[in-house]
Amino acid sequence: MNVEDIKIVGIVGAGVMGNGIAQVFARNGYEVILVDISEKILEKALENIKTGPYGLKKLVEKGKMSEEEMENCMKRIKTSTSYESLKNVDFLIEAVPENLDLKRRIFAELDRICKKDTIFASNTSGIMISSIATAVERKERFIGMHWFNPAQVMRLIEVVRGALTSEETFQITMEISKKLGKIPIPANDAPGFFTTRFINSWLMEAIRLYEANVAGIKEIDEMCKLAFGFPMGPFELMDLIGLDTVLHIAEYMFEETKEAHYAPPVTLKKLVLSGYLGDKRLKFGSKGGWYDFFQIKR
């Protein structure tokens, strides 16, 4: 099998990352089957692909795509609530929440349904690939393909080989990433890989510096942007990611490594327990994020 053999791509999970990945593949000529648990989620995903902040309509408005090209791109994306619809895909990406048991259950089911030469890729941001791959027989065809938000814009894909990932699977994943206009960079399989491990240390240290009264939340965000050229400060970024997700990752990293600097500070736990899950979670009942909890003007 080589990269030219990949024609149909399956994506499990139609949230922000999943529908963004689907858009990228469809725009590059691939047939896409996007699967999630409800038609409502899938309808929202298609709406975001077409008219969202990074959607195809924006490309038409900027003259980077014609109306006809946009409609053809949308036609290449099929949706379903059934895993059975994925039985003939050539390449499959899982983009569901960061829950190891959930990912294992999904892949175990897909291992039974999908054809034997289908490559399985997980978009996990930090769970070890070798750990997720225990759910499938095709461990040599299992790999990490960590995209970044927004998938339509961010060029990096962190490609992570599991303990038994074959060279063929690795090379195909690297090549298909390049065909999508991305820059794939390999990382070794370890909790958090490189990017999540690095960003988690930065975020946790920012909270600790706030707790130590070195500087305020808004001041830390402003200094990071002005001193280092970051588009967002650490507290703004946590609000975007979702504080519940940040907490989950920190707990996972600490549990796996037992290194104190990965452990979530008390203030982060307090916000999540109090219903402050960040701006990204507002539609799920979040009360807001760091700035809202501490009533700081942005």
The pLDDT of residue 253 is above 90: yes
Give ranges for CATH 3.40.50.720 in the chain: 3-188
β-pair partners for 156: 183
Supply the angle between the helices 234-241 and 217-228 in degrees, to the nearest 10. Answer: 110
Portions of the chain given CATH number 1.10.1040.10: 195-287
Does the pLDDT at position 237 exceed 70?
yes
When pLDDT is averaged across residues 161-182 and rounded to a whole number, the result is 98
Residue among 132, 127, 161, 156 at smallest CA distance from 144: 161
Percent of the chain that is helix, strand, coil (3-state, to 5):
55, 15, 35
Asked if the model's pLDDT at residue 246 lies above 60, the reply is yes
User: For residue range 79-134, what is the model confidence (pLDDT) as tens digits?
Assistant: 999 999 999 999 999 999 889 999 999 999 999 999 999 999 999 999 999 999 99
Q: What is the mean pLDDT of the chain?
A: 95
Q: Please provide the distance, in angstroms rounded to a whole number, between the alpha carbons at the two ends of the chain.
A: 52
Q: What is the pLDDT of residue 69?
A: 96
Average pLDDT over residues 268-283: 85
In this predicted structure, the answer to whether residue 67 has a pLDDT above a threshold of 70 is yes
User: Cα–Cα distance between 170 and 186 in angstroms, integer?
Assistant: 9
pLDDT value for 283: 52
Percent of the chain with pLDDT strictly greater than 70: 98
Q: Which two tokens stand for residue 19?
A: 């529908």
The dotted CATH code for 195-287 is: 1.10.1040.10
The sheet with strand 91-94 has its strands ordered as: 77-80, 31-35, 8-12, 91-94, 119-122, 142-146, 156-161, 183-188
Cα 145 from Cα 51, distance rounded (Å): 26
Q: pLDDT tens digits for 213-231?
A: 999 999 999 999 999 999 9
Look at residue 92 in the predicted model and tell me its pLDDT: 98
Q: Once rounded to an integer, what is the mean pLDDT over residues 137-154?
A: 96
Q: Compute the distance between CA of residue 224 and CA of residue 214 in angstroms, rounded to an integer.
A: 14
pTM higher than 0.85 for the full model?
Answer: yes
Helix, strand or coil, per DSSP, at residue 135: helix
Class level of CATH domain 3-188: alpha beta
The residues that bridge with 77 in the sheet, in sequence order, are 32
**pLDDT beyond 90 at 240:** no
Check whether 149 has a pLDDT greater than 90: no
> Cα(165)–Cα(129) distance, rounded to whole angstroms?
9
